[in-house]
Amino acid sequence: MTITRRNFTREFKLAAIEQIESGKSLARVARELEVHENVLRRWKREIQKQPGKAFVGKGHYRADREAELERKIGQMTLEIDFLKKALQRVEERRLLEKASGGRRSTRRSKKS
């Protein structure tokens, strides 16, 4: 099982810092937002050092990419299911032919 990194938007980070600065405890904000306290401390430190340059990432890029990958996974899952069913039908047909003594022609041959 792999652990993926969560990415937060600039707005989310700023809202979290605002809650801390409004008087809520760091622990409470961390619990409510399901973020580790150290992450909140780092965000606060970043905004204090360079308010204009903090959190200048692409924001929603990661979420868009994740949605695209989830769609791709869904499509591939459907394709795999289809192929599994097709393979199962081929195997069933092969077993039936083997059990009945070989291939039978779909056309009837004329008797001479």
Tokens at 54, concatenated = 């903090």
Same domain for 46 and 85, yes or no, is no
How far is it, in rounded angstroms, from Cα 16 to Cα 9?
A: 11
Radius of gyration of the chain (CA): 30
Q: Is 66 among the domain residues?
A: no
First-to-final CA distance of the chain:
68
Q: Please state the rounded mean pLDDT for residues 79-101.
A: 93
- On the question of pLDDT at 111 being above 70, the answer is no
Same domain for 50 and 12, yes or no, is yes
**Extended strands (E) in 1-112:** none
Condensed to tens digits (0 to 9), the pLDDT of residues 12-22 reads 998 999 999 99
Q: Is 76 among the domain residues?
A: yes
> Which helix (H) or strand (E) segment is 14 a member of?
helix 10-21
Domain span at 80: 71-96
Q: Is 65 among the domain residues?
A: no
Query: Tokens 């360079």 appear where?
Result: 50
Given this model, what pLDDT does residue 76 score? 96
Domain total for the chain? 2
